[in-house]
């Protein structure tokens, strides 16, 4: 879609939503890479009212109507729980703006799907941690989301990206990529391939725990990065979780684990100098404490004990996905240099190795938080 077409369809969609006042501004907003996001400003008797307008990415999310049903169910449930606890549902969860005919989305004349949220005022989303408290607040906020949703039946939600964290299925895709070797790259990644083959049982551990009833199926966010929470501008406290597109049935320990994989790594995700890659025990400790506290007692003892396994599994899965994409010709993850996905895979491998070196200390952190 050209910039001109996007602008035209944006205006078409905007007219369908039931906003307050007259629209005075609508421009691109934020740093998102999946959906097209716009900040909308409306004037109502001299007061400015702001909204977020988004065009959903049909390439990533194949069933936008069902995705929006997920979001409606989750936000409606959250609002009731927040009210019960005496909180402010206008600031502690996303609030959908409905169309003039009562829908949570609009489909434009070329088949694109759009939605709108109320803008959360006096709040900020961060791209990078400024201090340890930011990481702690992120943990508390994602833990709180887990706690609020703990009594919701996760099976009512669809998988917006099927098998997103089905690690055993990801392993089969990896095996297929190695066997077919369509780009003749397997020779350059022999050590990395052998590493993941040696960790096959590790990657089945959490899935087996679910299958055996040792941990429950939960409503999970599945994209627990720092920039997916809103912090109060004045207090710095976590307000709410945003970007609910990947909310679906899953494991709480995977939400925890993905945050650790990304946030407690001392190096960038694509760092070539592997001597810089390690797991920060201090950051692991801070996040574990916040996540458990935020969950408000909703996590089972088994879930808490398996949190280190969630971190290890998510790191293994992510590294294996990078390697699979490298073997298949870099068709999924955007690359910026030769061997970029192989570098990413090596970083995740090094992080797993450091987790294994520190395994007893990691488990001791969790034991003290039980």
In tens, the pLDDT along 321-341 reads 999 999 999 998 989 999 999
Q: Tell me: do 70 and 90 sit in the same domain.
A: yes
As a 3-state breakdown, the chain gives helix, strand, coil percent values, each rounded to 5, of 50, 15, 35
pLDDT digits (tens, 9 = 90+) for 91-148: 999 999 999 999 999 999 889 999 999 999 999 998 888 889 999 999 999 999 999 9
Q: Tell me: do 18 and 47 sit in the same domain.
A: yes
Q: Tell me: do 23 and 61 sit in the same domain.
A: yes
Domain count, the chain: 2
Question: What pTM was estimated for this model as a whole?
Answer: 0.93
Q: Tell me: do 137 and 31 sit in the same domain.
A: no
Burial degree of 301 (CB within 10 A; 0-12, 13-18, 19+): exposed
Domain that holds residue 255: 132-369
Q: Model confidence at 351, in pLDDT bands (50, 70, 90)?
A: very high
pLDDT at 198: 98
Question: Is 5 a residue whose pLDDT tops 70?
Answer: no
- β-strand pairing of 96-97 with 36-44: unpaired
pLDDT at 334: 87
CB-based contacts of 37: which residues, under 8 Å, 6+ apart?
28, 29, 30, 52, 53, 54
Question: Is 58 a residue whose pLDDT tops 90?
Answer: no
Cβ-based neighbour number of residue 138 at 10 Å: 28
pLDDT at 2: 63
Contact 293, 143 (CB under 8 A): yes
Contact 56, 37 (CB under 8 A): no
What mean pLDDT is reported for the chain?
95
* Helix, strand or coil, per DSSP, at residue 15: coil
Contact 143, 295 (CB under 8 A): yes
Question: In the numeric block, which tokens belong to residue 295?
Answer: 């969950």
- Provide, rounded to the nearest whole percent, the portion of the chain with pLDDT above 70: 98
Q: Tell me: do 189 and 307 sit in the same domain.
A: yes
Q: Tell me: do 87 and 203 sit in the same domain.
A: no
pLDDT digits (tens, 9 = 90+) for 240-284: 999 999 999 999 999 999 999 999 999 999 999 999 999 999 999
């Amino acid at each position: 879609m050209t910039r001109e077409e996007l602008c035209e369809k944006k205006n078409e969609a905007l007219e369908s939503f039931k906003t307050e006042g007259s629209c005075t501004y609508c421009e691109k907003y934020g740093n998102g890479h999946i959906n097209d996001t716009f900040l909308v400003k409306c004037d109502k008797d001299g007061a400015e009212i702001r909204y977020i307008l988004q065009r959903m990415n049909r390439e990533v999310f194949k069933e936008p109507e069902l995705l929006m049903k997920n979001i409606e169910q989750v936000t409606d449930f959250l609002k009731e729980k927040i009210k019960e606890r005496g909180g402010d549902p206008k600031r502690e969860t996303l609030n959908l703006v409905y169309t003039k005919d009562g829908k949570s989305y609009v489909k434009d004349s070329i088949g694109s799907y759009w939605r709108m949220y109320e803008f959360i005022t006096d709040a900020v989303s961060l791209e990078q941690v400024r201090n340890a408290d930011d990481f702690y607040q992120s943990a508390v906020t994602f833990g709180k989301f887990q706690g609020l949703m703990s009594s919701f039946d996760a099976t009512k939600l669809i998988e917006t990206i099927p098998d997103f964290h089905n690690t055993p299925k990801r392993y089969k895709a990896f095996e297929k990529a190695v066997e077919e070797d369509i780009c003749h790259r397997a020779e350059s990644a022999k050590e990395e391939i052998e590493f993941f083959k040696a960790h096959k049982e590790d990657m089945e551990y959490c899935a087996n725990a679910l299958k055996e009833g040792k941990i429950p199926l939960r409503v999970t966010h599945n994209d627990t990065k720092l920039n997916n929470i809103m912090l109060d501008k004045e207090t710095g406290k976590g307000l709410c979780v945003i970007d609910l597109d990947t909310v679906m049935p899953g494991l709480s320990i995977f939400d925890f684990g993905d945050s650790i994989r990304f946030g407690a790594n001392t190096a960038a995700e694509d760092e070539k100098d592997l001597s810089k890659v390690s797991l920060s025990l201090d950051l692991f400790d801070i996040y574990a404490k916040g996540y458990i506290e935020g969950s408000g007692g909703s996590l089972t003892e088994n879930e808490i004990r398996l949190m280190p396994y969630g971190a290890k599994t998510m790191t293994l899965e992510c590294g294996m996905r990078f390697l699979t994409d490298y073997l298949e010709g870099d068709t999924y993850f955007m690359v910026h240099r030769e061997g970029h996905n192989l570098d990413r895979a090596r970083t995740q491998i090094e992080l797993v190795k450091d987790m294994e070196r520190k395994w007893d200390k990691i488990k001791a952190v969790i034991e003290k938080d039980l």
